Amino acid sequence: LYGQRLFEYGPPKGMPELIQALPNHLMGLQVFAKPENIFITNGSQQALYILSAMAFPGGGKKVVVEQPTYSLMLRILDNAGVPVVGVKRTEKGIDLEALEQLFMEGDIKFFYTMPRYQNPTGFSYTNEEKKAILKLADQYGVYIVEDDYLADLEVDRKAETLHTLGDKDRIVYVRSFSKTLLPGLRLGMVVLPEALHRAFSDFKYSIDLNTSVLPQAALEI
């Protein structure tokens, strides 16, 4: 199928065949993305690092996270020298008043959230909670980074993502393919608003030129 191309460098954005195949796959997870907004990464971990280290429009410095949150994301933010502020999340949901206060104070780069099967708690937001978070983000012009690492384990195929419900110009959708294929191949993807394309692509190119085309071809097949 691919011939010699599997032995050469690939585009920093990802293998075109895989990118063209992903929108149909994502629709089954209630994620609606155009190929031009999809970028392939070396695991979702690389996507999270690039997003943490690169500049965002508006020049915000702080990242808002749920408490508790994914421990490796905290390590990424620490290594990238990004200030972190937390907002409490329990089985009853997130503290919306505290979240609004943080958004109101400004200087926010993005809000990092795991709406589905959050790590480490396993909690999921209801659609009402998702809409309330999106309303606040719209009101205060805050970007959202939605980490959907366990999308493949969702039992409700109609469960909606923040990316589905909200303003796609301000929502970054990140997911892993570790559960689709296998963790050792280190494949992830990110759906980016157009305003973030250039900064993300330049940062990724400076790190690794491109994600290996061999696992991308395997995933596409």
pLDDT tens-place string over residues 159-217: 899 999 999 999 999 999 987 778 888 999 999 999 999 999 999 999 999 999 999 99
**Per-residue confidence (pLDDT) for residue 156, from 0 to 100:** 80
**Per-residue confidence (pLDDT) for residue 87, from 0 to 100:** 98
- The DSSP element (H or E) to which 176 belongs, if any, is strand 171-176
Other residues' Cβ atoms within 10 Å of the Cβ of residue 218:
14
Other residues' Cβ atoms within 10 Å of the Cβ of residue 122:
11
- What predicted TM-score, i.e. pTM, was given to this entire model? 0.96
pLDDT at residue 157 above 80? no
**Per-residue confidence (pLDDT) for residue 28, from 0 to 100:** 85
Q: How far is CA 180 from the centre of its chain?
A: 17
**pLDDT digit string, tens, across residues 6-19:** 999 999 999 999 99
**pLDDT digit string, tens, across residues 92-138:** 999 999 999 999 999 999 999 999 999 999 999 999 999 999 999 99
pLDDT at residue 30 above 90? no
Residue 22 tokens, joined: 């992903």
The CA-atom distances, in angstroms, between 68 and each of 27, 65, 86, 91, 192 are 30, 8, 8, 12, 25
